Structure 1
Amino acid sequence: MAGCAVPTYRLHVAQHTHDGIDWAARVAAARRTAALEAEALRVVARRLVRPLPDNPTVYDVGCGVGPMSVPLAEALAARGGGTLVLVDGTPEALDAATSAARAVGSVTVKPVLADLAGEDPAGFAGSADLIWGSRVVHHLPDQLKALKRLVGALASGGWLAVAEGGLEARFLPWDLGVGEPGLQDRLAAARADWFCTMRENLPGAVQLPVGWNVALGDAGLGEVSAFSFVIDHPAPAKQVVRDWAVERLSWLAEVTGARLHASDRAALRRLLNPQDSEFLGGRDDVFMLMTDTVHLGRKP
């Protein structure tokens, strides 16, 4: 595969991830999102790396294009180095994350091409002192089993940190002047319905009827806690935020589809049409406000 510098650590060549989502098609959009999240994630990475032993091994599972891979590499480099293991099931995303993390220097970066739904991370690259996973566990059929597998890959005293939950990303004003006010909330409800359907259609899907703190305890972790962080780019925003908003709205329009009223679908067509006077990418009232929650626990 072009662009892959070190295939040594690859377990197999995964053609498709188990959830049926074409993540390769989202690489460009993911890079833009990563740039907007970078400042906040650097703070999170430093916080998570601070208590680790010297020369630690850190996993970034479901790393995507590397929004957290680079902050983790920077945090490790600042404290003398370590090993960063990047795991993803999409070759294009893994290559992007690997190149970006290696550019930091002073850290050994090992890419692993693997689908976490079918492979045990305990066999990837040795025991981890920290495993980070952002919005990845909820894409796995049996989430508690996945957590237990991640715990199994930790060294004694190691930490598992998963970014799950938080608050729905906001980027639209309440009244857009196109369609009925409150489009953002209706999109959020339709996206939640799509998410439930996506979960139900995963082969072997198992419900997780508890909060993440309880799930981490059930997976065998102690010292369970959580914290949240905010990504805030207020209006009037830079063009990169407007471009992100257009991509986000395009994705929401794609996954919500028939779940929306015809009038909302008509409003979306106007907002996503570069030739329309109401095109989202040209508006001054677009913003980006996201809140993610990190749940973490320690292996005894």
Structure 2
Amino acid sequence: MAHDHAHQHAHHHDHTDIDWADMAEHLETQAELFTPLHEHALAWLGGKQTEPGLIVDAGSGPGVVSCLLADSFPGARVVAVDGSEPLLHLARERAERLGVADRFATLTGELPDAMADLDYPADLIWASQSLHHLGDQQAAIRAYAERLAVGGTLALVEGGLPTRFLPRDFGIGRPGLEARIDAVQADWFADMRAALPGSVSVPEDWRAMMSAAGLKPSGTRTFLLDLPAPATDRARAVAAATFGRVRESLGDVLDATDRATLDRLLDPDDKASVHHRPDLYVLTARTVHTAVRTG
């Protein structure tokens, strides 16, 4: 579903009230489900540059990808930066559990200002699905560029394809439910962006924006996550959480038939629900845009 990163987080009708800590379990579960996609993206990044000394995960959440960064670049120190201390606590626990805590740190603060507290410039800044939560995206990219070492890379993960869990016609309600949810979420996303403090409307040409910040674009690639049916328990949990938040936050925008369909999809006692149905799958894509500081 379009912009489903935004719907990883608890959002309510005033559009700006996002309780990141409340989303901790879902954030972790979804990031773990997306591990194959992230591993392919990080392998691609690793083939494009020398071993980084300092990696910053800007908008890290509970640190699933932060720890993957530490695993992918074993010579690097990783700093997870996020505005939610409860999520960073989970990140530190994960790093300890995975044996990378000796080169793992966290920094609590709002982006991009928190980047000013880094001890020294970063060789790689990874910003996945976090930039679009900042009002002035161009200013944020400029701030990231200033925190890069010469030769360092900024990797923005923005865009891709909507996530799909179900066939177009899955036997209940009207066919095309997820396409209709996409349309509702697109409107929510536009309203969310407009309501952010200091919001600036800009075309989402990430290469152009990185160039305007003085960086040299160095590549764009899209990575696929294809988990066919039958779904794993983790995939079912992610589907249930995703549809559950759509029902809770956007259900009043959908018609009665679609609301009833969502209710059936979410009912653990209904064999047609995401908890049981044999045709549930996960198919999505994320796009990584990279640029280098040359001087």
State the TM-score, normalizing by the size of structure 2: 0.89
Query: What CA distance in whole angstroms lies between the structure 2 residues aligned with 1:106 and 1:87?
Result: 15
Kept in 2: contact 1:234–1:288 (CA 8 A)? yes
Kept in 1: contact 2:271–2:277 (CA 8 A)? no
* Equivalent in the alignment of 1:229: 223
1:120 positional shift: 4.6
1:98 matches 2:92: yes
Query: What CA distance in whole angstroms lies between the structure 2 residues aligned with 1:73 and 1:166?
Result: 24
1:124 positional shift: 2.3
1:58 positional shift: 0.5
Kept in 1: contact 2:40–2:223 (CA 8 A)? no
- Range that drifts further, 41-50 or 173-182: 41-50
| Matched position secondary structure for 1:104 | coil
* Equivalent in the alignment of 2:156: 162
Q: In structure 2, which of residues 191, 214, 220 is the aligned counterpart of residue 220 of structure 1?
A: 214
- Runs of 4 or more, structure 1, over 4 Å off, are 50-55
| Matched position secondary structure for 2:155 | strand
* Equivalent in the alignment of 1:145: 139
| Matched position secondary structure for 1:34 | helix
The amino acid of 1:76's aligned partner reads F
Against the structure 1 CA distance between its residues 19 and 87, is the aligned structure 2 distance closer, same or farther, given a 3 Å change threshold? farther
The number of aligned residues is: 279
1:289 matches 2:283: yes
Tell me which of the two structures has the higher relative contact order, counting C-alpha pairs closer than 8 angstroms and 6 or more residues apart. 2
Structure 1: 5+ residue stretches without partners: 1-17
1:261-285 Cα distance to aligned partner (Å, 9 max, x none):
1211111112112223322211111
Kept in 1: contact 2:51–2:73 (CA 8 A)? no
Query: What CA distance in whole angstroms lies between the structure 1 residues aligned with 2:52 and 2:227?
Result: 35
1:244 positional shift: 1.2
Kept in 2: contact 1:46–1:72 (CA 8 A)? no
Query: What CA distance in whole angstroms lies between the structure 1 residues aligned with 2:46 and 2:278?
Result: 38
1:203 matches 2:197: yes
1:206 positional shift: 0.7
1:250 positional shift: 0.9
Structure 2: 5+ residue stretches without partners: 1-14
1:22 matches 2:40: no
- Range that drifts further, 106-115 or 22-31: 106-115
Query: What CA distance in whole angstroms lies between the structure 2 residues aligned with 1:237 and 1:167?
Result: 20
1:191-236 Cα distance to aligned partner (Å, 9 max, x none):
1111111111112211122411111111111133200111111111
Against the structure 1 CA distance between its residues 174 and 159, is the aligned structure 2 distance closer, same or farther, given a 3 Å change threshold? same
Against the structure 1 CA distance between its residues 274 and 227, is the aligned structure 2 distance closer, same or farther, given a 3 Å change threshold? same
RMSD in angstroms over aligned alpha carbons?
1.8
Percent identity, please.
36
Against the structure 1 CA distance between its residues 262 and 130, is the aligned structure 2 distance closer, same or farther, given a 3 Å change threshold? same
The amino acid of 1:298's aligned partner reads V
Which aligned pairs between 1:239-250 and structure 2 lie closer than 5 A?
A: 239-250=233-244
Query: What CA distance in whole angstroms lies between the structure 1 residues aligned with 2:272 and 2:72?
Result: 42
Query: What CA distance in whole angstroms lies between the structure 2 residues aligned with 1:49 and 1:108?
Result: 18
Query: What CA distance in whole angstroms lies between the structure 1 residues aligned with 2:223 and 2:102?
Result: 26
1:65-103 Cα distance to aligned partner (Å, 9 max, x none):
1231121101121xxx22111101112211122222343
